[in-house]
């Protein structure tokens, strides 16, 4: 909710991110999607996956199985169920807890036309699809910190039908060899990711952090306003007005729901946008100052150094060195000075 009577919209500089907070956050994550081969299985079967620092996602197109995270009780996945794993430890997908697992990476190497098989083809009764997302390390915690380790969306969920449509397309495209296959798969798995995030918000009483607060009338209105106009020089009074709350009630409610005070959240979001722009060298430092709501380059630089631990110039130079090192075959240090 954004009311022109409560504040004057900023027109100082072009926006650094979309108005939609989820689109903005995912854009900052620079997700690199990898679609796993479709898994056809029958009889006794199991696949072991290594721990993964970001997000894995999957669904049961046909049949059923168990998702067994190390250190947790098995979770039954029925036909039409979906799951999202955030920073998971090693885990198994299996027909039973006693099935002997195969290593996922070795199994994927045997894929033919986007499909792997375990057991005799005549006995196949299970079909699973999935993928993984790697995020930009500078901003990965924007999402990782607010997601539970496991999001389980059951077939009975109101969003399951939409998810099934996406997985039908994903499954068909995984077995397709036509031109543009990788592009289509990349977009489909990102669509699946967003729908699972939506399902998580809808089925959870109070999702953690900004993702849950977005859907609240009060704090959510302020969050949406901040994301819609990051260049505006927001005050606590204005944000409380957007939320239709008193300043003290708004500040308390925002911190309770999001985890940080409102103006600190705004600074952190602005600096995340700035880090991304500096890494990609898309704005000058003076342009970034205006685009993130600062009156001067020096004020912006002071705020950036406080949050990041380095000046904008130091951070940009470090990012450039990392890109050069990567192009020469040396991964080098991450641009986190």
CA distance 295 to 158: 47
Q: Give the C-alpha distances (Å, rounded to integers) separating 108 from 27, 82, 83, 181.
A: 28, 20, 20, 18
pLDDT of 4 above 90: no
Cα separation, 315 vs 337, in Å, equals 6
Sheet holding 46-49, edge to edge: 75-77, 65-69, 91-94, 46-49, 102-103
Q: What is the mean pLDDT of the chain?
A: 86
Q: What are 230-257's pLDDT values in tens digits? A: 999 999 999 999 999 999 999 999 999 8
* pTM over 0.85, yes/no: no
The angle formed by the CA atoms of residues 131, 19 and 265, to the nearest 5 degrees, is 85
Of 153 and 281, the one with more pLDDT: 153
Q: Is 284 exposed, middle or buried (0-12, 13-18, 19+ CB in 10 A)?
A: middle
Which residue blocks in 175-311 are alpha helix, DSSP H? 181-203, 209-213, 218-228, 236-243, 247-258, 262-280, 285-291, 297-308
Q: Which domains does the chain have, with CATH numbers?
A: 29-206 (2.60.120.280), 230-326 (1.10.10.60)
Q: Which residue has the higher pLDDT, 54 or 181?
A: 54
Structure confidence at residue 20 (pLDDT): 77
- In this predicted structure, what is the pLDDT of residue 206? 67
Mean pLDDT of the region 198-206: 80
Give the pLDDT score at 323. 76
Nearest of 217, 215, 197 to residue 206 by alpha carbon: 215
Residue 171, token pair as written in the block:
């499954």
- Band (136; pLDDT cuts 50, 70, 90): confident
Tokens of 89: 């430890």
Q: Where are the beta strands (DSSP E) in the chain?
A: 32-35, 38-42, 46-49, 55-62, 65-69, 75-77, 82-86, 91-94, 102-103, 115-118, 124-134, 150-153
Percent of the chain with pLDDT strictly greater than 70: 90
Question: Does residue 205 register a pLDDT over 80?
Answer: no
For position 106, what pLDDT does the model report?
96
More confident residue, 50 or 17: 50
Q: How many residues does the chain have?
A: 337
Q: Is the pLDDT of residue 322 over 90?
A: no
Torsion of CA 196, 224, 281, 315, to 10 degrees: -90
Secondary structure class of 58 (helix, strand, coil): strand
Query: Does position 45 have pLDDT exceeding 70, yes or no?
Result: yes
What is the predicted pLDDT for the residue at 261? 95
More confident residue, 224 or 189: 224
pLDDT at 10 over 70: no
Smallest CA-to-CA distance from 141 within 21, 55, 256, 254 is with 55
More confident residue, 5 or 49: 49
pLDDT tens-digit map of 57-79: 999 999 999 999 999 999 999 99
| 172-181, 213-222, 272-281: segment of lowest average pLDDT | 172-181
**DSSP 8-state secondary structure symbol assigned to residue 113:** T
Residue 335 has pLDDT above 80, yes or no: no
Residues 118, 32, 86, CA angle at the centre, nearest 5°?
70
Mean pLDDT of 74-90: 95
């Amino acid at each position: 909710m954004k009311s022109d009577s409560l504040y004057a919209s900023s027109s100082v500089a072009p926006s650094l991110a979309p108005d939609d907070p989820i689109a903005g956050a995912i854009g900052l994550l620079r997700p690199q999607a990898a679609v796993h081969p479709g898994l056809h299985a029958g009889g006794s079967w199991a696949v072991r996956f290594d721990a993964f620092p970001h997000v894995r996602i999957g669904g049961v197109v046909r049949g059923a199985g168990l998702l067994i995270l190390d250190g947790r009780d098995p979770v039954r996945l029925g036909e039409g169920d979906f799951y999202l794993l955030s920073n998971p430890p090693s885990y198994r997908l299996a027909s039973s807890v006693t099935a002997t697992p195969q290593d996922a990476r070795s199994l994927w190497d045997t894929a033919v036309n986007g499909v792997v098989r375990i057991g005799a083809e005549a006995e196949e009764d299970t079909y699973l699809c999935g993928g993984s997302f790697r995020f930009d390390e500078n901003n990965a915690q924007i999402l990782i910190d607010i997601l539970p380790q496991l999001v389980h969306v059951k077939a009975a969920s109101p969003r399951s039908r939409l998810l099934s449509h996406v997985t039908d397309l994903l499954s068909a495209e995984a077995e397709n060899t036509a031109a543009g296959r990788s592009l289509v798969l990349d977009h489909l798995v990102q669509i699946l990711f967003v729908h699972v995030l939506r399902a998580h918000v809808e089925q959870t009483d109070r999702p953690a952090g900004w993702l849950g607060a977005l859907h609240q009338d009060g704090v959510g209105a302020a969050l949406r306003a901040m994301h819609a106009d990051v260049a505006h020089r927001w005050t606590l009074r204005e944000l409380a007005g957007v939320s239709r709350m008193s300043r003290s009630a708004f500040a308390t409610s925002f911190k309770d729901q999001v985890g940080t005070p409102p103006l600190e959240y705004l600074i952190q979001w602005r600096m995340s946008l700035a880090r991304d722009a500096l890494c990609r060298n898309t704005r000058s430092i003076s342009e970034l100052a205006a685009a993130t709501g600062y009156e001067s380059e020096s004020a912006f630089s002071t705020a950036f150094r406080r949050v990041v631990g380095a000046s904008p110039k130091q951070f940009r130079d470090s990012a450039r060195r990392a890109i050069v090192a990567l192009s020469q075959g040396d991964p080098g240090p991450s641009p986190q000075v």
